[in-house]
């Protein structure tokens, strides 16, 4: 009993067989091949239907060129705008204003297409038709695609949609065509256009292309931390991508130059406003002086009066210039408060300007540009926007503080000049009345004349400076059309299809194994129970009739199936070998697992070695033995146990030497009670005196309890598990029954085994240590079909498709 417990508790050692894993995967190679073929076909279909995109690139060198005449005049500073030049210039290149100007350069008011079997393709830059717009409102025009079909030399047909309905009309060349709010005419083609030639076209606005261009435009540093900028444009039309990228680079240079001249332009505009005012004032003063001299008959003032006048003019001139400085400071302060881009101090009259002010203004400009770009990606409440807003606020406060310092300095100078002017005015007040009045007229005239002359010189300097400013970038390489598509990447897609095809095939194999609930091989049984396997009976290669009428081990003695039955018979001889007569009980979990089939074939093979065998159909509910041997089921075990017949009346001869049969008989109302009766025990005792082997075919133990009394009195209990039919739980039942009833004579037979690597266990059983010697020798005869020792009738070849699904 102690030995039995050890067998029950300990499972044999199983090691991973990597070679077998490979065989499992290769066993369904056609699944992998089929999956691979499907994915490859799918990749070709995807490439066929997916529009191709093309990429072109150009390069620019960002640099800050100085004015070539900057050494001749005092020009306005055009310094680089901060350290992150690449980032800020990239935002300028991708700005809508630059892209819109580039699109307008293409002169692209009408797009032409041709319709293919798969997709409609744009044929830019070709313009197969000359179309002239007669009435075109940029805010309200016909936007849908119009289909043109040539009919003959003078006529054509247009098809278009009106209120979701397709309208088709014929027209003549060079005659107005009105579709909705748009009127145009199609001129007679210069070249030959064959009849039934079809083109598609549509009217555009430059704004319609902004999204298309910006979506394909990419900018980056060609080399990290360099000033070489790489621009790339992707589009479904390679020529359009090349043309628009060249136009963008050209418009960027124009925009950059205009931006750099903006400071000088602002100053020129400011000076023009002041000159316009001073011009009228100077002319009025000059006329008043002339009239005063003629009226008072004065030619000029005295020498002392002339000196006082000169001193007063100088002071008032300086005051006028400082007042202009204050006006410019006020304008700049207003621009900073409103966070305008590209702000500058429009007028600088001296050294009172804070040196840090220009740097602060440039930093503020950069931050405002960066915020503009970030707002394309983030909302106004996001963290990056909040961070840059804090930086802008800090720079604004610093700039305004600097402006206040400058403003205070200018005011101090004005106060000082006011004090000096008061002294001069006191001297003038003692002059004669006529001279004093003449001085009063001369002072504003000459002051305004000096200021006018000063501003004119400043304007000339600003104009010279602006003329000498060059763009801050140079085009190194123009974009060229690239007719090799960059997307979809055919090699990458085919490679991915191959990888996913193989992985899908392997995944299908793994999935089928994971979802499989059935037992297929002896290794699976050995992994689930410690009950030993008596043997493996191969699947019979031919179709078996429903009633198992053939005694297959005898009718096909040279098959692998027959040899596997004989192997089980051999192992039976080692069980209960000390018994002169053996009682063998055969059961299973559920019906259909082949227990009757195994009982018939084991009985027949045992009778061939001079063993007297009686086969008892103890499944009183659903026995098939009488059908197998083609005998009536009028009397049998049930009539004997109910004392309706005697033993000799129910023992039938089978026609095979040494093999007798007791069929089940009519189905009784109390089969379980009959099998538990003393008369059943008496039957077995009597049969032991007549036969060497008593083979009992019982009811399934997983469905009813009829087999329990027979199992407890049997010398050998055979539990049948059918390959591909029995579930994993079935393998645990023999061990549970053995533990519950303290049995050490329970063994398992794996029935109907057919080698199927897909569902085979990838472990190999190693019998070592305590497990060694407690199991029986047997083989599943895998791999021996072509050895020549067996005659099989299922010579299936690899090209037989039915074999794949068997």
pLDDT at 804: 47
506: Cα within 13 Å, side-chain hemisphere? 10
CA–CA separation, 703 vs 588, rounded Å?
A: 9
Q: Which two tokens stand for residue 697?
A: 């075919």
- pLDDT band, very low/low/confident/very high, at 73 (cuts 50, 70, 90): very low
- Span 645-675, pLDDT tens digits: 999 999 999 888 899 999 999 999 988 899 9
pTM of the full structure: 0.62
**What count of other Cβ atoms lies within 10 Å of the Cβ of residue 273?**
13
CA–CA separation, 387 vs 367, rounded Å?
A: 11
pLDDT at 765: 67
Burial-class residue 415 by CB neighbours within 10 Å (0-12, 13-18, 19+): exposed
- Look at residue 335 and give its three-state secondary structure: helix
The closest alpha carbon to 596, from 607, 605, 587, belongs to: 587
- Look at residue 122 and give its three-state secondary structure: strand
pLDDT at 430: 55
- Span 614-635, pLDDT tens digits: 999 999 988 888 888 888 999 9
CA–CA separation, 240 vs 107, rounded Å?
A: 12
Comparing 212-221, 351-360, 619-628, which segment has the lowest mean pLDDT? 351-360
The closest alpha carbon to 628, from 602, 654, 659, 593, belongs to: 654
CA–CA separation, 583 vs 196, rounded Å?
A: 95
**What count of other Cβ atoms lies within 10 Å of the Cβ of residue 225?**
6
- Span 413-454, pLDDT tens digits: 888 887 877 777 766 665 555 555 555 556 566 666 666 677
The closest alpha carbon to 758, from 480, 508, 432, 425, belongs to: 508
**What count of other Cβ atoms lies within 10 Å of the Cβ of residue 330?**
12
Mean pLDDT along residues 147-160: 92
- Span 84-117, pLDDT tens digits: 567 777 888 888 888 999 999 887 889 999 987 7
- Span 236-249, pLDDT tens digits: 999 999 999 999 99
- Look at residue 162 and give its three-state secondary structure: strand
pLDDT at 49: 86
The mean pLDDT value of the chain amounts to 80
Which strand (E) or helix (H) includes residue 436? helix 433-468
Pairing state between β 217-221 and 228-235: antiparallel
- Residue 28 pLDDT exceeds 50: yes
Mean pLDDT along residues 773-795: 58
- Residue 299 pLDDT exceeds 80: no
The closest alpha carbon to 272, from 331, 347, 342, belongs to: 347
CB 216 within 8 A of CB 235: yes
């Amino acid at each position: 009993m102690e030995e039995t417990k050890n067998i029950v508790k300990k499972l044999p050692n199983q090691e991973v067989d990597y070679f077998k894993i490979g065989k499992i995967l290769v066993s369904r190679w056609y699944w992998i091949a089929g999956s691979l073929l499907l994915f490859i076909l799918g990749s070709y279909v995807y490439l066929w239907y997916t529009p191709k995109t093309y990429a072109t690139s150009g390069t620019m060198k960002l640099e800050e060129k100085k004015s070539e005449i900057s050494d001749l005049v005092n020009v306005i500073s055009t310094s680089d705008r901060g350290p992150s030049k690449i980032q800020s210039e990239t935002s300028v290149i991708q700005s809508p204003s630059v892209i819109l100007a580039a699109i307008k350069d293409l002169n692209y008011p009408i797009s032409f297409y041709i319709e293919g079997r798969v997709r409609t393709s744009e044929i830019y830059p070709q313009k197969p038709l000359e179309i002239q717009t007669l009435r075109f409102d940029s805010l309200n025009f016909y936007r849908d695609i119009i289909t043109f079909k040539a009919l003959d030399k003078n006529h054509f047909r247009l098809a278009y949609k009106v209120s979701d309905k397709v309208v088709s009309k014929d027209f003549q060349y060079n005659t107005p065509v009105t579709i909705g709010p748009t009127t145009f005419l199609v001129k007679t083609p210069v070249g030959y256009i064959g009849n039934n030639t079809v083109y598609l076209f549509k009217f555009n606005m430059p704004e319609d292309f902004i999204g298309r261009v910006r979506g394909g435009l990419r900018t980056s540093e060609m080399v990290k931390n360099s000033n070489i900028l790489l621009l790339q444009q992707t589009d479904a039309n390679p020529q359009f991508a090349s043309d628009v990228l060249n136009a963008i680079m050209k418009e960027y240079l124009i925009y950059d130059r205009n931006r750099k001249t903006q400071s000088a332009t602002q100053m020129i505009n400011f000076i023009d406003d002041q000159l316009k005012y001073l011009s009228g004032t100077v002319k009025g003063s000059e006329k008043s002086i002339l009239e005063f001299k003629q009226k008072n008959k004065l030619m000029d003032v005295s020498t002392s009066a002339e000196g006082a006048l000169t001193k007063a003019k100088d002071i008032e001139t300086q005051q006028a210039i400082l007042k202009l400085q204050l006006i410019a400071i006020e304008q700049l302060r207003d621009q900073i408060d409103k966070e305008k881009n590209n702000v500058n101090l429009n007028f600088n009259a001296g050294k009172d300007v804070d040196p840090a002010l220009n740097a602060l203004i440039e930093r503020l400009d950069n931050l405002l540009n960066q915020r503009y770009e970030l707002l394309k990606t983030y909302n106004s409440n996001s963290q990056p926007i909040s961070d840059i807003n804090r930086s802008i606020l800090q720079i604004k406060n610093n700039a305004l503080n600097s402006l206040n310092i400058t403003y205070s300095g200018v005011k101090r100078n004005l106060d000082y000049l006011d004090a000096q002017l008061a002294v001069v005015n006191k001297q003038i007040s003692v002059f004669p009345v006529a001279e004093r009045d003449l001085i009063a007229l001369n002072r504003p005239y000459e002051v305004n004349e000096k200021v006018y002359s000063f501003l004119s010189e400043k304007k000339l300097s600003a104009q010279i400076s602006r003329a000498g400013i060059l763009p801050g970038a140079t085009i190194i390489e123009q974009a060229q059309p690239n007719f090799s598509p960059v997307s979809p990447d055919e090699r990458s897609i085919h490679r991915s299809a191959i990888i996913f095809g193989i992985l899908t095939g392997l995944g299908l194999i793994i999935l089928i194994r994971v979802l499989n609930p059935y037992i297929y091989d002896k290794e699976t049984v050995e992994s689930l129970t410690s009950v030993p396997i008596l043997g493996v009976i191969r699947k019979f290669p031919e179709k078996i009739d429903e009633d198992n009428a053939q005694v297959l081990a005898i009718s096909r003695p040279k098959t692998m199936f027959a040899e596997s039955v004989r192997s089980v018979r051999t192992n039976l001889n080692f069980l209960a070998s000390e018994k002169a007569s053996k009682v063998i009980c055969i059961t299973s979990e559920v019906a259909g697992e082949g227990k009757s089939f195994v009982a018939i074939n084991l009985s027949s093979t045992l009778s061939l070695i001079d063993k007297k065998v009686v086969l008892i159909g103890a499944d009183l509910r659903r026995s098939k033995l009488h059908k197998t041997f083609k005998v009536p089921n009028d009397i049998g075990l049930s009539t004997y146990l109910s004392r309706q017949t005697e033993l000799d009346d129910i023992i039938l001869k089978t026609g095979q030497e040494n093999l007798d049969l007791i069929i089940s008989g009519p189905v009784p109302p109390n089969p379980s009670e009959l099998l538990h009766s003393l008369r059943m025990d008496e039957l077995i005792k009597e049969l032991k005196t007549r036969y060497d082997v008593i083979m009992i075919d019982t009811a399934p133990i997983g469905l009813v309890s009829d087999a329990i009394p027979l199992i407890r009195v049997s010398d050998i209990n055979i539990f049948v598990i059918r390959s591909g039919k029995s579930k994993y739980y079935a393998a645990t039942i023999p061990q549970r029954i053995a533990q519950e009833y303290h049995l050490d004579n329970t063994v398992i037979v794996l029935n109907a085994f057919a080698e199927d690597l897909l569902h085979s266990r990838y472990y190999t059983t190693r019998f070592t240590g305590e497990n060694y010697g407690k199991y029986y020798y047997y083989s599943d005869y895998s791999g021996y079909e072509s050895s020549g020792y067996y005659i099989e009738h299922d010579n299936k070849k690899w090209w037989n498709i039915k074999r794949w699904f068997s």
